[in-house]
Amino acid sequence: MNEVRVGEIRIGGGNPLVLIAGPCVLEGEAIAMEIARQLKELCRSLKIPLIFKASYEKDNRGSEKSYKGPGLKEGLRVLDKVKEKVGLPVLSDVHRLEDVDRAKEVLDIIQVPAFLCQQTSLLLRVGEAGRVVNIKKGQFVAPENMAGAVKKIYSTGNHQVLLTERGTCFGYNKLVSDFCSIPIMQGIGCPVIFDATHVIRNYGIPSEDPRGGSPQYVPHLSRAAAAVGCDGLFLETHPKPSEALCDASSMIPLNEMESLLTQAKAIHDMVRTWR
């Protein structure tokens, strides 16, 4: 497996569990800084490497009226401030070819959304940007078939690639986690991150509706992924999820992260000693 490096953070290859966390979408500078600082303090105490994530734009909302984020210019300004003032590497997803050149100036990790994981032109442009790339596995793609997306990135000379498991759609509006996908995708040669907060979304129901997600299962899924041997967790969090402007029904309350991470880290550390 290739070890992926984000500054001083090492992902995969027997390294400690990594956390990618933050709100679903940027809602403003103040709340982004608040979440980033609290996560940094928590992860420092737990000795968990942290990468801050937040989308500057969500272009796949269920309605054209839904909040999409502040956009490229303002979003990157906020993420750059998180890097500068809080001292964390940052990740955001890119939906358009024309965003990549500007995004690479700020982002440490460029994320390819699940729905675009087979978009050749986007994958090639992202690979050429020279940043670490996180490809989210599409709900419609078998884990072994993610090798094609990885090869597209590798063809640009960029071998710093992460894969993120976020569930597979076996029926209408429900995602199911096949935990075999973690070792399968690791077999492609990439560290694998497990996204526990998108797996529990109930699609077809607006994310602001309490029925739109089942966040009570996030700790169970996170522990299971750590036991299988994932290289990191991807968790969306917010001080008051019910008031969030996107994915309100699936994010984890910030004050519940410590217990979840303590358990997942303990399991991951134990599994590492068996490898």
Confidence of residue 208 (pLDDT cuts 50, 70, 90): low
Q: Which residue has 């390819």 as its token pair?
A: 112
What confidence tens digit (pLDDT) does each residue in 131-173 have? 999 999 999 999 999 999 999 999 999 999 999 999 998 767 7
pLDDT at 207 exceeding the cut of 80: no
The whole-number average pLDDT for the span 255-260 is: 97
Q: What pLDDT is attached to residue 209?
A: 67
Tell me which residue of 247, 243, 249, 246 sits closest to 215, measured CA to CA: 249
Q: What pLDDT is attached to residue 166?
A: 94
The mean pLDDT of the chain is 93
Determine the Cα–Cα distance for residues 184 and 189; give it in Å rounded to an integer.
9
Q: What pLDDT is attached to residue 210?
A: 65
Q: What number of other Cβ atoms are within 10 A of residue 220's Cβ? A: 12
Pairing state between β 4-6 and 9-11: antiparallel
Q: What pLDDT is attached to residue 61?
A: 65
Contact 76, 114 (CB under 8 A): no
**In Å, what is the CA distance from 176 to each residue of 140, 168, 172, 198, 221?**
11, 5, 11, 11, 11
Contact 129, 116 (CB under 8 A): no
Q: What pLDDT is attached to residue 68?
A: 85
Report the percentage of the chain scoring pLDDT > 90.
82
Q: What pLDDT is attached to residue 196?
A: 96
User: Any idea which of 42-46, 71-75, 220-224, 246-250 has the lowest mean pLDDT?
Assistant: 246-250
Domain boundaries, the chain: 17-270
The whole-number average pLDDT for the span 199-223 is: 82
Say what the pTM is: 0.95
Which token pair is 87?
């001292």
What confidence tens digit (pLDDT) does each residue in 52-97 have? 999 999 877 666 777 788 999 999 999 999 999 999 999 999 999 9
Torsion of CA 38, 42, 47, 51, to 10 degrees: -40
Q: What pLDDT is attached to residue 62?
A: 66
**In Å, what is the CA distance from 171 to each residue of 25, 129, 140, 174, 203?**
27, 36, 11, 6, 11
Phi, psi at 134, each rounded to 5°: -110, 115
User: Any idea which of 63-67, 229-233, 251-255 has the lowest mean pLDDT?
Assistant: 63-67
22: which residues sit within 8 A by CB, 6+ positions away?
32, 35, 36, 39, 52, 53, 54, 236, 237
Determine the Cα–Cα distance for residues 207 and 195; give it in Å rounded to an integer.
17
b/e 141-155 (16+ beta carbons within 10 angstroms → b)? bebebbbebbebbbe
pLDDT at 191 exceeding the cut of 90: yes
Confidence of residue 206 (pLDDT cuts 50, 70, 90): low
Q: Which residue has 């990157």 as its token pair?
A: 76
167: which residues sit within 8 A by CB, 6+ positions away?
139, 175, 176, 177, 195, 198, 199
Domain 17-270 fold is TIM Barrel (3.20.20)
pLDDT at 203 exceeding the cut of 70: yes
Phi, psi at 22, each rounded to 5°: 160, -175
